[in-house]
Structure 1
Amino acid sequence: MDINKSEFIISAVKPAQYPNDNKREIAFVGRSNAGKSSLINAITNRRKLAKTSSTPGKTRLVNFFLINDILYFVDLPGYGYAKVSKSEKKNWGKVIETYLVNREQLKKVVLLVDCRHKPTNDDVIMYDWIKYYNYEPVVVATKSDKVSNNQLFKNMKLIRQTLGMEKHEKILPFSALNKKGKEEILEVIFDEE
């Protein structure tokens, strides 16, 4: 499916602010510097739809983007950013958990991991959470343009092992720079359409 229309709807702190039109939602989660906003911008063909920053931890709210008037992309706060206070980290964790655990409209969770690094404990916890709540895990290995094809292959194997992924589960390599992997991601995201 092509994305012909995308618009920012709201940045929410609490569930009362979430859209209440019962459209399907696809959430994007990952470390603060995994590239969630860049991925959303790349697959929607909008350079500034989701705010990006060279400073990790920019996304602090639950951001809803209406896609083709039929579903929402939901950009969640990144986790694992070291340069914020413990109380702020705890608050982000509550915001993320409140959305993920209680949102009936949530149909898919896309976990972004930086393909240059071994997944962190936080990444493993998030992957396990996705499985525990019976969502099909969609793992995207971002920043694939920053490593050689040989290194990407090795790193994707490491990601699969670290997360404990099953053989049939896919890891989709992606580059926001050249949009390599965009079509595969859209196919997986919209496979229920």
Structure 2
Amino acid sequence: MQALRSRLIGLHLPPLPSPSSLSAKPPCFSLSFRHSFSHSNKQKPNNPNPCSSHHASATKSPQTPISDAAKFVRTVLFVPPGVEPDEVTDDMILPGSNIVLGPYAGDAKIKEVEFVKSSGRPKDCPRDSRPEFAMLGRSNVGKSSLINALVRKKDVALTSKKPGKTQLINHFLVNKSWYIVDLPGYGFANAPESARMDWSAFTKGYFLNRETLVSVLLLIDASVPPQKIDLDCANWLGRNNIQMTFVFTKCDKMKGGKAKRPDENIRDFQELMRQTYREHPAWIMTSSATGLGRDELLLHMSQLRNYWDN
């Protein structure tokens, strides 16, 4: 356990809670999938929560003691289905993240990708049963660049120096089996007033009603200090029990002067998140320019997807 603590501290991230402090009153909420649903005529498990299947069993059986080590792991790390907190070892954690690799991780290679459609309303999105991951973030966070980096093809997703270019829900089909969904960026100042007013209504409708949504990848710009709009978005997702992963972008960027390093901004953001989450959501550091975190993020997505589709 000391090795796990030392490794995370080595990433210059927030000071970790001691096991003895975990009995204190927890903050507001933790994440889980919103519901289960029928897929291919097969009922999903009663607890389709890739981040806390072991949490549910602990809640139902309070008489079963949980070790201090397990409490520490489940508070700090993202422990996927098939892994018990006491089983986690240092070499199971994906580099640059708090994500534990479990038995549901599978083939993460992207062999082909195709644009399917743009939708102006959630009800116009594809209606098949394929799982999907939604990319969400401020309009200049590097969302399109990350999509292009993941699929290793230029211009699959539209990139522009003008924030707010994506104003529709765009579905990209990967390996003919799952979707990457590019959602409109929030917080862009140059978009038409009508687009700014409509963003909340139709994007939130997508989150609340999209049964095939496996997880939201909430992109956070690590080159700048924590932004209130990102914190508000994360807290809205949390209040609505929508599973998410924090994807820190631009981790290669170093601002001049006295600006903080990306790892310091990540530490500050996570410290704020700790005030509202019982267990910290999954997070990972990435850079579209250098490829940092690409393979690890795809592995993480594969284990969420495989569990969802199990």
- In structure 1, how many angstroms separate the alpha carbons of the residues matched to 2:194 and 2:127? 29
Instruction: Please show how residues 35-74 of structure 1 align to structure 2 within 5 Å.
Output: 35-74=142-181
Corresponding position: 1:109 with 2:216: yes
- In structure 2, how many angstroms separate the alpha carbons of the residues matched to 1:124 and 1:104? 24
Aligned to 2:91: none
Q: What do residues 62-93 of structure 1 show as CA deviations (whole Å, max 9, x unaligned)?
A: 00000111111111000011223443211122
- In structure 2, how many angstroms separate the alpha carbons of the residues matched to 1:15 and 1:180? 32
Provide the TM-score with structure 1 as the length reference. Answer: 0.92
Aligned to 2:234: 127
Q: What do residues 109-135 of structure 1 show as CA deviations (whole Å, max 9, x unaligned)?
A: 000011011232221122112222333
May I ask how many residue pairs the two structures share in their alignment? 192
- In structure 2, how many angstroms separate the alpha carbons of the residues matched to 1:73 and 1:62? 10
Aligned to 2:85: none
Matched-pair contact (CA < 8 Å) for 1:25–1:72: yes
- Once the 2 structures are TM-superposed, how far is the Cα of residue 108 of structure 1 from its aligned partner? 0.3
1:191 match: secondary structure: helix
Runs of 4+ displaced beyond 6 Å = none
Give 1:163's aligned amino acid.
Answer: M
Corresponding position: 1:143 with 2:250: yes
Corresponding position: 1:79 with 2:191: no
Matched-pair contact (CA < 8 Å) for 2:273–2:280: no
Q: Percent identity?
A: 35
Q: Which has the larger radius of gyration?
A: 2
1:113–1:33: structure 2 CA closer, same or farther, 3 Å change rule?
same
Matched-pair contact (CA < 8 Å) for 2:122–2:202: no
**Aligned mate of 1:161, from 261, 271, 276:** 271
1:84 match: secondary structure: coil
Give 2:287's aligned amino acid.
Answer: S
- In structure 2, how many angstroms separate the alpha carbons of the residues matched to 1:30 and 1:89? 14
Alpha-carbon RMSD across the aligned residues, in angstroms, is: 1.8
Q: What do residues 8-55 of structure 1 show as CA deviations (whole Å, max 9, x unaligned)?
A: 100100133210111111101000001111111101111111111011
1:190 match: secondary structure: helix
**Aligned mate of 2:127, from 5, 15, 20:** 20
Provide the TM-score with structure 2 as the length reference. Answer: 0.58
**Aligned mate of 1:181, from 277, 286, 293:** 293
- In structure 1, how many angstroms separate the alpha carbons of the residues matched to 2:284 and 2:254? 15
- Once the 2 structures are TM-superposed, how far is the Cα of residue 187 of structure 1 from its aligned partner? 1.4
